[in-house]
Amino acid sequence: MAQRTLELTLISAKDLKDVNLLSKMEVYAVVSLSGDRRSRQRIATDRAGGRNPAWNAAPLRFTVPASGAGSLHVLLRAERALGDRDVGEVHIPLSELLSGAPDGAVPAKFVSYQVRKISSGKPQGVLNFSYKIGEVTQSGSYPGASPPVAYGQAPPAPAYPPSAAASAAYPPQSTYPPPTAYPTAAKADGRRGLPTPAVKPAKKNNFGMGLGAGLLGGALGGLLIGDAISDASAYDAGYDAGFDDGGGFDF
């Protein structure tokens, strides 16, 4: 799209309506392109001029369509401790500023426009400023300019092939080995959804068998000793009985 640069310098204003009741007005200006809130620019406040402020501020630059569509909006406001208040405004069609201007740059022009009350359009004073118009250019046609990139979008890759050194230093991603596969998870427990712990085989415990064998051996030994004692007792009893009976023999 064909576009031009507009350079605007606010100089002064005269016979503005006093919107302050108890203090002297301190007036500043906010300049923008109609319909574009992002283009707003403010100049410093004049704290001495009152109804006749003088700024001579630094130039304000805007990019406007070469066709002259749209308008320039200048809002004059009074700075106050309890909240700023509107003094008046100026609407200037861009077609008026660009009318009769060739495609090349236009030197500075000095103009005056009527300041009007915002609600009724009633005259509120005069605004004086100068402006310059730049050459006609095409958007994005500047040498070395990159195409605009939408917010959150990655910039386009360069069209030229990478050098051999860059290719050797940074191999393509496809040449890297595939990631190591992780082991499969253990079978989940149906009641709690937790992995089932591995069950270790129980070790053989010979302690019980040894104890049982010891007790059994002790019992058998006791029985055998008891029987031996009983046999010995019976033998002694029989021997005594026979000895007693021998007393009846006659020798």
Model pLDDT for residues 191-202, shown as the tens digit of each residue: 555 555 555 555
CATH number, domain containing residue 126: 2.60.40.150
Q: Could you tell me if residue 91 is inside a domain? A: yes
Domain count for the chain: 1
Q: What is the mean pLDDT of residues 213-230?
A: 47
Q: Could you tell me if residue 25 is inside a domain? A: yes
pTM (2 d.p.): 0.55
Burial 122-133 (b: 16+ CB within 10 A, else e): eebbbbbbebbb
Q: What is the pLDDT of residue 26?
A: 96
Domain limits at 70? 2-138
Q: Could you tell me if residue 50 is inside a domain? A: yes
Q: Could you tell me if residue 223 is inside a domain? A: no
Q: What is the pLDDT of residue 135?
A: 87
d(CA 76, CA 62) in angstroms, rounded, equals: 19
Q: Could you tell me if residue 64 is inside a domain? A: yes
Q: What is the mean pLDDT of residues 26-44?
A: 93
d(CA 35, CA 37) in angstroms, rounded, equals: 6
Q: What percent of the chain shows pLDDT beyond 70?
A: 54
Q: Could you tell me if residue 213 is inside a domain? A: no
How many CB atoms are located within 10 Å of the residue 184 CB?
A: 6
d(CA 205, CA 105) in angstroms, rounded, equals: 106
Chain-centroid distance of CA 111 in Å reads: 49
In which element (H, E) is residue 244 found? helix 207-245
Q: What is the mean pLDDT of residues 46-74?
A: 93
Model confidence at 207, pLDDT cuts 50, 70, 90, reads very low
Q: Could you tell me if residue 228 is inside a domain? A: no
Q: Is the pLDDT of residue 131 over 90?
A: yes
Q: Could you tell me if residue 217 is inside a domain? A: no
Mean pLDDT value across the chain: 72
